[in-house]
Amino acid sequence: MPGSIPIRVQNLCKYYQVHQKEPGLVGSLKSFVKRKYADVKAVDDVSFTIDAGEIVGFLGPNGAGKTTTLKVLAGLLYPTNGVARVLDFTPSERRAAFLRQITLVMGQKQQLAWDLPPMETFLVNAAIYEIPDDQFKKTLAELTELLELAPLLKKQVRKLSLGERMKCELTAALLHRPKVLFLDEPTIGLDVTMQTKIRQFVAEYNARYRATIILTSHYMADVTALCQRVIVIDHGKLLYDGDLKALAEKIAPHKLVRVEFSQALDGQRLEEFGEVVKMRGQRAELLVPRDATSDVAARMLAQLPIADVTIEEPPIEDVITRVFEQAARARAERGEAEEEEE
Amino acid sequence: MRYLRLLSIFYKNSILKELEYRANFIANVFMSILWLGWAIVGVSVFFLHRDKMGDWTYPEVLMVVGLFTFFNGVMEALLRPNVGAVIEQIRDGTFDFVLTKPVNAQFIASLRSIIVWRLVDAVIGIGLIAYALGQLRVTPTPTQIGFFVVMLLSGTAIVYAIWLVMVSFAFWFVRIDNITELFYAFYEAGRYPVTIYRGVVRVVLTYIVPIAFVTTFPASALLGRIDQTTTLVGFAFAIGLLIASNRFWKFALRYYASASS
C-alpha cells in the first residue's frame, strides 16, 4: 500500500543557476554588465523512501544538498527533475491539507515574532492551523511540560537565550501535531545540556505520535542518539543509505586498537601491526583491519610488553570524514575537475 | 471567516508591537500633520498667482490632495510594512515559514502587519475631502457618491496590485528598494490632478503607472465629471490588474530560492 510510505523520493534533482563573479571591483563591474551563469547541482539524482515513524539522519558537509532536499520535501522549492512525494502529496503544490501535516524547523531561522512573547506566535499559529481551543491547550501543556517552557511564555522573544528560543521555536512548529518533521540543524549553537534536552524531546515526540522525522545536524551525537538509519549526501549525490552501524563496518574496514605498554618500546616494530594513528609515551592507537583484529591483538600480546588493550569501533566522525574523502577521490579519478562552489 | 479571524489576530499583534515603542507613535502623528501642511501650502502658493490649475479650482485640487493623503495613509499603514517585511524575509530566508503555513501565502505576505498610526493620514485625507466639498458648497448626488466609492475601491485595488508586482520582483532581485522608490516618485505626481500633465506623462500616469485612477478619478467622480462608462472601465481595469498581479506573484514564487540554510 503506497499510502503507508510517507516519504518517497525518486531521481530527485535540483539545480540552481548561480551567477559567477570574478573577485574584485573589475570582476564586479564585468558581472554587472554581463552575468555568467552556471548550473550548480545541489541535488543530483537522489532516490530514497522513508517509512512511517522512522527518524532518518541526513549527513553531509556544508553545501552537500541536505537542506535543499529538505526544502524540496517541505514544498519550498520546485524540483528541477524527478519526483518527490510526501504523505501522497506533491510538496511543491503546497496544498493546505499537506502543509497541515508537516513542519519545518530550522536552527538558523526563526518564526517567532521578535518583539512579542512566544505565546503570541503560538496563538497566531493556532489560528493559522485552525487548532481547536481544547486541543491547543492540551498540546501546549504537554509541550510546556516536556520542554520546561512555563517561565518563558510571557517574556519577549528578544530577551530569551538561544536555547530558550529554540525550545519555543520547536513548540511553535509542533502545536498542530505534524506527522512529518523536517528538522534542519535544530541544535546548532546550543550547549551540550540543551542539545541533550532537544534530542530527548525529539525522541519523545517520535515515540508518542509515531511521527516521521528527517534530521540534519553537524553534531554526530544528535544523529547517533536519534537515528538508526542515515542518508549520506555529498555534492548532491547519495553516497549511502542504511544502518548507521553498518556504515561504520562498510566504510571503515578498520577497528581502533588502543594499547598501553608496561614499559617503553625500543621504538620499532609497531607499524607491522597496523596503521599507527597516535603514539604518546606508553600509549598508542592503531587502526587494524576488521577481520584481522583478534589475530593482531594476540600477536601484540605475545610480542610486546602490553599492560592493557581495548578494541573499539572508530569514532563515527572519522568514519564520516572517510566517506567524504573516498567520494572526493572517486570524483577526482573520474576526472570531474569542474570548479565546485565552496 | 477564518481569514477575518486571522486578520484580527495579525492586526492585534501589530498593534501590540507598535505599543512596545511609544515615542515612535507620537513622532509620526506630528510627521503626518507636517506633511499635509506642506502639501496645502504648495497648492495655496500656486493659487495665489493663478485661479485654476488646468481646469481645476482651488477646492477641487484640495480634494485631490485629500485623496492623495488618504491613499498615502492606506499604503503606509497596510502595504509598506508588509512589502518591507516580505523583502526582508526573502533576503534572510524566513519566508520559508510563510510558505509552509496552510494559508494562502499572498494573504499572509500582503496583510500580515499594519502600522495603525499611519491611518491617521487616511483620516486627515477624508477630512480634507469633506472640507473641500464644503468650500465648493456641493452636495454630491447618491450616484456620484456611488461612482466615488467604486473608484476609491478600484484605486485601492490598483495600488495593491502594483505593490504585489513590485514584491514579486524581489524573488529574483532580492533588493528592490529602488523599484519601490521609483513607484513613490510616480505616486508623488498623483498629488495634483493628472489632467494638468500633457502628452506622454499623462498617458503614463493613466495607463502605465495608473496613479490617475487613485487620486484624480475618484475626485472627478465626486465632482460629477465622470460618467458610468469611465467608472466601469476603472473597475474592470482594477479587476484585471488584481488577476494579473496574482498570476505574476504565483509565477514568481517558483523562483524563491530560500536563502541560506
For residue A4, what pLDDT is reported?
73
List the single residue in B with minimal CA-CA distance to A14. Answer: B257
For residue A1, what pLDDT is reported?
44
Give the three-state DSSP class for A139: helix
pLDDT of A340 above 50: no
Query: What are the tens digits of pLDDT across the range A228-260?
Result: 999 999 888 898 899 888 887 777 778 888 888
**Contact check, Cβ <8 Å, A67/B103:** no
> Is B60:B223 a contact under the CB 8 Å cutoff?
yes
Percent of chain A with pLDDT over 90: 39
- C-alpha cell, A199: 534530542
What domains does chain A contain, in order, with CATH numbers? 2-248 (3.40.50.300), 253-312 (3.30.70)
For residue A266, what pLDDT is reported?
66
Mean pLDDT, residues A32-38: 74
For residue B225, what pLDDT is reported?
85
Query: What are the tens digits of pLDDT across the range A141-175?
Result: 999 988 888 899 989 999 999 889 999 999 999 99
For residue A210, what pLDDT is reported?
92
- Measured between beta carbons, the chain A residues lying within 8 angstroms of B256 are 76-77
pLDDT of A28 above 80: no
Give the three-state DSSP class for B215: coil
Phi, psi of A306 (to 5 degrees): -95, 130
For residue B260, what pLDDT is reported?
56
For residue A316, what pLDDT is reported?
76
- Measured between beta carbons, the chain B residues lying within 8 angstroms of A156 are 20
**Contact check, Cβ <8 Å, B16/A74:** no
Q: List all residues 6 or more positions away from A40 whose beta carbon is below 8 Å from its beta carbon.
A: A15, A16, A17, A18, A341
- Tell me whether 0.85 is exceeded by the ipTM: no
> Is A168:A158 a contact under the CB 8 Å cutoff?
no
Q: For chain A, which residues lie within 8 Å of any Cβ of chain B, measuring from their own Cβ?
A: 16, 62, 67, 71, 74-78, 94, 96-100, 102-104, 106, 108-111, 113, 115-116, 120, 123-124, 127-130, 156, 184-185
For residue B16, what pLDDT is reported?
82
The alpha-carbon gap from B140 to the nearest alpha carbon of chain A, in Å, equals 43
E-state strands within chain A: 7-20, 36-50, 55-59, 81-86, 102-106, 180-184, 212-216, 229-234, 237-243, 254-261, 275-280, 283-289, 306-312
Q: For chain B, which residues lie within 8 Å of any Cβ of chain A, measuring from their own Cβ?
A: 2, 5-6, 9-10, 13, 16-17, 20, 92-94, 96-97, 99-103, 105, 254, 256-258, 260-261
Report how far apart, in Å, the C-alpha atoms of B224 and of each of B130, B147, B215, B231 are: 15, 9, 15, 11
Name the nearest CA neighbour of A120 among A89, A83, A86, A158.
Answer: A158
Query: What's the helix, strand, coil split of chain A in %, to 5?
Result: 40, 30, 30
**Residue in B94, B101, B260 nearest the CB of A128:** B101
Helix axis angle for A118-128 and B2-19, nearest 10°, is: 170
Report how far apart, in Å, the C-alpha atoms of A146 and of each of A156, A171, B62, B86 are: 21, 10, 62, 34
The alpha-carbon gap from A60 to the nearest alpha carbon of chain B, in Å, equals 13
**Contact check, Cβ <8 Å, A113/B100:** no
Burial class (CB in 10 A: 0-12, 13-18, 19+), A9: buried
Query: What are the tens digits of pLDDT across the range A184-231?
Result: 999 888 888 888 989 999 999 999 999 999 999 888 888 888 999 999
- Measured between beta carbons, the chain A residues lying within 8 angstroms of B94 are 109-111
- Measured between beta carbons, the chain B residues lying within 8 angstroms of A116 are 13, 16-17
pLDDT level of residue A273 (50, 70, 90 thresholds): confident
pLDDT of A137 above 70: yes
CA distance B167 to B161: 10
Bridge-partner residues for A183, per DSSP? A105, A215
The alpha-carbon gap from A129 to the nearest alpha carbon of chain B, in Å, equals 7
Bridge-partner residues for A233, per DSSP? A238
The alpha-carbon gap from A112 to the nearest alpha carbon of chain B, in Å, equals 10
A51-60, A134-143, A287-296: segment of lowest average pLDDT:
A287-296
- Measured between beta carbons, the chain A residues lying within 8 angstroms of B13 are 113, 116, 120, 124
- Measured between beta carbons, the chain B residues lying within 8 angstroms of A111 are 94, 97
pLDDT level of residue A70 (50, 70, 90 thresholds): very high
Mean pLDDT, residues A56-61: 89
pLDDT of A339 above 50: no
Tens digits of pLDDT across chain B (261 residues): 788 888 998 888 888 877 777 777 778 778 878 888 888 888 888 888 888 887 888 888 888 889 988 988 888 888 888 887 888 888 888 899 999 999 999 999 888 888 888 888 888 889 999 999 998 887 888 898 999 999 999 998 998 998 888 888 888 887 777 777 877 887 887 888 887 887 888 888 877 778 888 888 888 888 888 888 889 999 999 999 999 999 999 999 888 877 654
List the single residue in B with minimal CA-CA distance to A217. Answer: B261
pLDDT of A338 above 70: no
Report how far apart, in Å, the C-alpha atoms of B136 and of each of A233, B19, B57, B59, B61 are: 74, 40, 9, 6, 11
The alpha-carbon gap from A79 to the nearest alpha carbon of chain B, in Å, equals 10
Give the three-state DSSP class for A308: strand
> Is A231:A58 a contact under the CB 8 Å cutoff?
yes
Helix axis angle for A133-147 and A192-209, nearest 10°, is: 140
Burial A267-296 (b: 16+ CB within 10 A, else e): eeebeebbeeeeeeeeebbbbbeeeebeeb
For residue A336, what pLDDT is reported?
55
pLDDT of A330 above 90: no
**N residues, chain B:** 261
> Is B215:B191 a contact under the CB 8 Å cutoff?
yes
> Is B174:A19 a contact under the CB 8 Å cutoff?
no
The alpha-carbon gap from A42 to the nearest alpha carbon of chain B, in Å, equals 12
What's the distance, CA B225 to chain centroid? Answer: 22
